[in-house]
A and B are shown apart, each in its own frame.
Chain A
């Protein structure tokens, strides 16, 4: 341990109410600390993070000339900034503070209080030994570019982009599909108010298109992300539309002019229920209103030979570019909002529901398209043979709350199932059977909507549907279906004949969610949704500074929650950009020039290209602005020349000795 007579360490043990004091004898812990070298005073207090607790630290620093502070309390991830600031307020360098995590890592996880006390002693002794070797450091800041990128053009991305743009910030909105709008654009009505989804969404989509501060990149994906908060360099891959966006006016004449007189390819926007031509547009109000050419089926592109009816129809505008190629564009932005949304669960993996086998078993998203006036049937709910269903079954929790698929509740399925029950009844007069486990209607006006749907005569059967079987044996077209359901209120198995089944499918992470989150340097929770920095107190931040989350990519949620979260993410991004700067990690690495042999081992290890070789002096040089402070070069340096602030060899070794001596 560093022996320096000028060291005066102040130790503070927090009770955290009864969180710590209920398990550990905090008084004895403070007494123990008093006996350790260089400890000038040790106190214990009910809530160290409270104002009086912080005042205590400040007063002691001034009164007792403390020059090091140790706080034994919660995780440094929670209150290290609090105590660093308190120390700074009292004129002590903020980096001369160390925390011992005796709450999350001791009091809360240990059964035996004797064991817990020993462990707390070890952690406290380690922090005291460690802080003795701390050095005063200057705070470093980096400038933030006042430009944001929003990834994903669903309702979350649209809302976030508009909020940022209205605050006067440049926004680049990247969307993978040919149009923005996302899942919301596919829906017919929205629960519980039954607003027409398109009626409330399309004005916002148009606003995005018209906003002078928003640069809209549709049919584009993020290729790579480099840099860090304030200066992210994002490469965007722009897929070819084969139509020049700047020349096209959206008249759609080319679609009529296409040599394919009949639309014959499945339209992904209609979940494959509708058909499209090689040149197509997902839906009439698409933004931008520019068609896109499918190179796999377009005769001109796939075979190089076509009469090009589309080009003739386009005429003088001459917007077609069959030689268009994929392009990579690079943008530098200060902040990023990730709003990549969700994927609807594919129920074909559940064999007993017969999706994909029995033609009249549909997913909820397919039925949304059937009910939508812009959909494949112009809003008429029909079975595959064109007839109108008379008895419709809705199966709740398909893929959700099921240990075989997703254990979580997808939050929106109950409400959209109620909405579908209402719409089906309204449009067809059919008898509707909702088979549910529990109806979860916890939002504003949700329960009232549930009551309304019950009053309308929808039958509610409490029980999970066991399987769906064909009524006539083979389930062929026209044949009815039977839902076998264990009615847990009647206590009997019921067989309900229906001619249409709607599976209320779960919301799950996008198929490429892992690639996306890795590109942005964010983590995911167990189910694969992106992980927020703190589940309660930092719900839109991520572990990567300057990257924020909005919408269903963070977890299943409905439209109001998505919009609220998108605005929250925009506000967080704005706060960063308006501040104009952010503090850098203090724990950067540096090279002791005397000791460096110039072997360059460290250079190949640095993922941020922060280290370069100074050929003249034959040493390595680390750029502190690029260094993120992982310390890998420090661990690898064969001559011990690479050093790190706060996490130096000496400090970690001292911590280790403190820990092991008090095992």
Chain B
């Protein structure tokens, strides 16, 4: 067992943006996607505890962050996860209608739809973002969802943001067109 941060961590020290470093991890023998998972405290985090108590094994590639509500997941957290080298971001919350905070998971749902469009504009496949409803009783379901997401990410391959962006030069032009079109509203000089 390693007693120091592993090689991956050493290669991405603080201050050095690891945005484009994802490929490095993909060059080892087997590609292991990295997943940042935001789990709401009341349903999905409890489900992950239940998966543990029941010794349900799932893919180890996931890193879990507890938030009180899936509604707390700021879109910037998702973008920051990708920026820090995540190949996928999972958001899990209570089923619609079951939110501990009445209906905040509906706000997550709306944000999720918006975020999928948004990350696509930025050159990230929208399928790298996933929203799952897992109740406190659904440890098995959450574990299966994590493993399934990791499997799907393996098919997508490493998040190669830079390459995705450059390979499709039309993206930059499309963005420019948007700026021209809305120049007045955006109060910019194109």
Binding site for B on A (CB under 8 A): 1, 25, 28, 31-32, 35, 75-77, 101, 103-105, 107-119, 121-123, 125-126, 514, 518, 521, 523-526, 531, 543-544, 587, 605, 607-608, 628-632, 634-636, 644, 647, 649, 652-653, 655-657, 659-663
Contact = CB atoms under 8 A, between A and B. Distances in A.
B84 A76 contact: no
Interface stretch (B49-57, B123-131, B155-163): B49-57
B85 A630 contact: no
Given A77-B45, A109-B143, A632-B71, A660 B1 contact: no
20 contacts: A1-B14, A32-B4, A105-B48, A108-B53, A110-B57, A114-B1, A121-B6, A607-B102, A608-B101, A630-B100, A632-B71, A632-B101, A652-B67, A653-B77, A655-B65, A656-B77, A660-B63, A660-B81, A661-B9, A663-B85
Contact of B69 (A125, A523, A631): A631
B1 A28 contact: yes
B80 A653 contact: yes
B153 interface: no
Contacts of A35: 4
A660 B67 contact: no
Given A28-B2, A114-B1, A662-B6, A109 B103 contact: no
Q: Please give me the 10 A-B residue pairs with the lowest Cβ-Cβ distance, nearest first.
A: A104-B52, A631-B72, A632-B71, A660-B84, A630-B69, A630-B101, A607-B102, A115-B60, A108-B52, A635-B74
Tell me whether chain B's interface is mostly helix, strand or loop, or mixed.
loop
A1 B80 CA distance: 15
Tell me whether chain A's interface is mostly helix, strand or loop, or mixed.
helix
B52 A103 contact: yes
B182 interface: no
Nearest to A78: B49
Nearest to B58: A109
Nearest to B95: A523
A8 B146 CA distance: 36
Nearest to B141: A526
Contacts of B48: 104-105
B49 A77 contact: yes
A91 to B, nearest CB: 27
Contact of A635 (B51, B71, B94, B137): B71
Given A524-B135, A632-B72, A632-B104, A105 B77 contact: no
B60 A116 contact: yes
B97 interface: yes
B13 to A, nearest CB: 8
Given A105-B48, A659-B63, A660-B63, A634 B143 contact: no
A632 B65 contact: no
A373 to B, nearest CB: 42
Contacts of A635: 71-75, 111
B72 A526 contact: no
B2 to A, nearest CB: 7
A122 B74 CA distance: 22
A662 B9 contact: yes
Given A109-B51, A109-B57, A661-B12, A101 B137 contact: no
Contacts, number: 180
Contact of A660 (B71, B86, B98): B86
Nearest to B50: A104
Contacts of B90: none
A70 to B, nearest CB: 14
Contacts of B111: 635
A606 to B, nearest CB: 9
B164 interface: no
B66 interface: yes
Given A607-B101, A630-B68, A105 B137 contact: no
A122 B1 contact: no
A628 B4 CA distance: 40
B56 A109 contact: yes
B9 A123 contact: no
A39 to B, nearest CB: 13
B136 A101 contact: no
Contacts of B75: 635
B64 interface: yes
B144 interface: no
B42 interface: yes
A629 to B, nearest CB: 6
B2 A117 contact: yes
Nearest to A649: B74
A105 B18 CA distance: 26
A113 B1 contact: yes
Contact of B14 (A25, A644, A661): A661
A587 to B, nearest CB: 6
Contacts of B86: 660
Contact of A105 (B34, B43, B64, B71): B64
- Give the most central of A28, A631, A647, A655: most B CB within 10 Å: A631
- Give the most central of B52, B57, B66, B67: most A CB within 10 Å: B52
Contacts of B2: 28, 117-118
Given A647-B67, A663-B63, A32 B5 contact: yes
Contacts of A103: 52
A108 B63 contact: no
Given A660-B84, A661-B12, A112 B60 contact: yes
B103 to A, nearest CB: 6
Given A523-B135, A659-B36, 7 more contacts: A104-B52, A607-B101, A630-B68, A656-B77, A660-B84, A661-B18, A663-B9
Given A28-B3, A661-B9, A663-B34, A544 B100 contact: yes
Contact of B8 (A647, A652, A663): A663
A524 B97 CA distance: 12
B57 A629 contact: no
Contact of A631 (B12, B14, B71): B71
A133 to B, nearest CB: 14
Contacts of B137: 523-526, 531
Contact of A109 (B55, B67, B138): B55
